[in-house]
Amino acid sequence: VAGPGSIDVITGLWSYTPSVADVGNVYSVSVRACDPYWGLCSAPCQFDPTITNDVPTITNACGAVFFVSMFQTLEYQLQAEQFDCDTLFYTLVHVNPTPVGLLTLDSETGLLSFQVEYGDGLTSYLVTIAVSDGIDETTCDLTIDVISSIPFGIRLEKTHGTIQGSHETVDITYLDGLNQIAGFDFLVAYDASALTFTGATEGSVYADCGWEYFTYRFGANGNCDGGCPSGMIRIVGLAEINNGPNHPSCYDMSHFDTFATLDFLVSNDRTLECQYVPIDFFWLDCGDNSLSSMTGETLYVARTIHTFEAELPLWNDDTYLIWDETDDFNYPESNRIPHVGTPDSCLHETPGKPSAVRHIDFAQGGIDIVCADSIDARGDINLNEVPNEIADAVLFSNYFVYGIGVFTANVIGQMAASDVNADGLTLTVADLVYLIRVITGDALPYAKLTPTEISWRLQDNIFTVNHEIGAAHLILQGNQTPELLTDRMEMRYDFDGENTRVIIYSLEQGIAMSGEIVRTSGAVLSIEMATYEGAPVIAKEVPVDWALYQNYPNPFNPITTISFDLREASRFSLEIINLAGQRVEIIKGSKPAGQHSINFDASGLASGVYFYKLSAGEFTQTRKMVLLK
């Protein structure tokens, strides 16, 4: 009868969509019901709707204190709520004092960004922000504190020329940082198939500064949210445990070099020769790889993570050699890759409570396993890769006068290289005589046996090799009765109470074997082979079938690893397909038989579900993956 809006003549539903201009107004609406058959209507019924507006509020930043290091970019996503679903707009109202670096607030998304420059050091900025729906506005203050001191630099040592079968130590080393600390908590990951962790010892901070508490945990006795998985170590240290009148003498990191030294036994598996075995800082929760301030009120966490080539500390991000070596790896993007830093969620601000501070630059490390040819070529006593030279003779003769201390390059390798006459005995006078004969041209040098690469396969419990070999030694799981499948060879085996040990060889001249060698009745734990000439063998397992594996991580952003098995050498194509069936990328190439991995970068693609399809020979398989940005 009267008033704004409209009414459904059948259902009686009255509706009205107000605008900004309606806010605060009170309307009078009058309706009545009629019977069209008889033409009768009720008396008008009146009601008075009032148009209101819900005031938006900022829910996660008011009163908070943010910490940021020099030359870093602070990014923080403001959150606001309003229950009437209006479009919200953010405004940077005021900053005191005025920063040197660029401080911005995205009006639509609410993303606060501060690019810290040199002149911003040791300054506390009071930032006033506002959110509005076009009618009402709410403001609040937050604080940004710039830490002007040099960030802490912490490095895992990267070794060179490590001998297989020997122990190698890896230091966790302090590089720089001016703030005082009173504790550390490191979580370190390593390849347990190549390294066996045997223990950790206190670093120089304990001797130099009198720190009091040190412990490490690994395996089933660890505390990585329970028992540490295989290949993880937790190292924890405290300066002071308040156990008496004696106290640490220093807390400034400039007074010491190392936090801890890790001891690893390097596997003697010759397939690992010349390999680099990474040892990395690893993150499972917010406290991993962190330092504590003197008071315990501030937790310093990862700022950047670098490969071992990086020279830390570095003040300019443009010169950093970042983890993936392809991207400007700034936080908070790194929290999307689980093993490269403290998640950004660990820094969410709670007004009135202290926050963790990104103030540590980490450099990963590892163990470089030496190539056998580079350390023990016969006659290369000084390991300069020039065998049988006069310098080798001088060094070798010095050994007989001054002892083993003359060998400083690599004692084990230099000892092995001294077997010049190939009689299997090292460091003998006979070796020195033969070396002099080689140098003067009176004798020819003995060649070193070069390992031969041989591929093997275990399919349907049949062990097969693709190259002639003179002997094979297998360790089979449990009590087995192997069946010899090759002619003119002998096989001996015995159950040692845990596994079955098998040797296959021939005493006849000129006899070697290849193809199908032996049938087992269970798993094969290890394989060692040699050629007929007695040369060692690098054994490479060939997959028994084609396979395409699920990508990891999944979901991912923006890089994921796709792995696949090729049963034989072949060309392949890897297609990336969207939900519409369109091919968005294709990777082509050729690979030998074996397992292979490809890192796929989806930086140019939108979030969503994709398929990846591998084609190799007659094999084709497709799997699904999810990109979340």
What share of the chain in percent tops pLDDT 90? 34
* pLDDT for 322: 30
d(CA 84, CA 135): 12
d(CA 321, CA 508): 58
Residue 307's CB is within 10 A of a number of other CB atoms, namely: 18
How many CA atoms within 13 Å lie on the side-chain side of 214? 17
* Residue whose entry in the numeric block shows the structure tokens 């959150």: 79
Mean pLDDT over the full length of the chain = 84
d(CA 393, CA 384): 13
- 325 pLDDT higher than 80: no
Among the ranges given (135-149, 346-360, 416-430, 519-533), the one the predictor scored with the smallest mean pLDDT: 346-360
Best-predicted range by mean pLDDT among 409-413, 543-547, 587-591?
587-591
* pLDDT for 340: 63
Let me know: does 58 contact 81? Beta carbons within 8 Å: no
* pLDDT for 422: 82
* pLDDT for 221: 63
Using alpha carbons only, how large is the chain's radius of gyration in Å? 35
Give the three-class secondary structure for 409: coil
Nearest CA to 189 out of 369, 370, 362 is that of: 362
Q: What is each CA distance from 85 to 55, 76, 105, in whole angstroms?
A: 11, 23, 21
Collect all residues with Cβ–Cβ distance below 8 Å to 496 and sequence separation of at least 6: none
Give the three-class secondary structure for 8: coil
Helix (H) or strand (E) run with residue 187 in it: strand 181-190
Collect all residues with Cβ–Cβ distance below 8 Å to 367 and sequence separation of at least 6: 158, 159, 162, 168, 170, 194, 195, 264, 266, 276, 277, 279
Per DSSP, 119 falls in state G
Among the ranges given (220-229, 233-242, 426-435, 486-495), the one the predictor scored with the smallest mean pLDDT: 220-229
- 128 pLDDT higher than 70: yes
- 328 pLDDT higher than 70: no
Q: Write the burial class of residue 429 (CB in 10 Å: 0-12 exposed, 13-18 middle, 19+ buried).
A: exposed
The tokens of 275 are what? 């390999």
Q: Write the burial class of residue 539 (CB in 10 Å: 0-12 exposed, 13-18 middle, 19+ buried).
A: buried
Nearest CA to 358 out of 284, 300, 293, 298 is that of: 300
DSSP string over 146-183: EE-SPPEEEEE-B-SSBPTTSEEEEEEEEEE--SBEEE
- 345 pLDDT higher than 90: no
- 273 pLDDT higher than 70: yes
Q: What is each CA distance from 574 to 150, 371, 544, 598, 610, in whole angstroms?
A: 45, 34, 21, 9, 13
Residue 374 — pLDDT band, cuts 50, 70, 90? low
DSSP string over 547-560: EEPPPBSSSBSSEE
What is the pTM (predicted TM-score) of this model?
A: 0.49
Let me know: does 24 contact 36? Beta carbons within 8 Å: no
Residue 252's CB is within 10 A of a number of other CB atoms, namely: 13
Per DSSP, 249 falls in state S
Helix (H) or strand (E) run with residue 114 in it: strand 111-115
What's the 3-state SS for 493-537?
Answer: EEECCCEEEEEEECCCCCCCEEEEEEECCCCEEEEEEECCCCCEE
Let me know: does 77 contact 108? Beta carbons within 8 Å: no
Give every strand in the sheet of 65-69, ordered side by side: 65-69, 137-147, 124-132, 89-96
Nearest CA to 225 out of 152, 282, 144 is that of: 282
Residue 446 — pLDDT band, cuts 50, 70, 90? confident
Give the three-class secondary structure for 538: strand
The mean pLDDT value for 219-246 works out to 77
Per DSSP, 191 falls in state -
Q: How many residues does the chain have?
A: 629
d(CA 170, CA 198): 12
Per DSSP, 546 falls in state -
Bridge partner residues of 401 (DSSP): none
Q: Write the burial class of residue 392 (CB in 10 Å: 0-12 exposed, 13-18 middle, 19+ buried).
A: buried
Please, where are the H alpha helices in 333-380? Answer: none
* pLDDT for 177: 62
* pLDDT for 375: 64
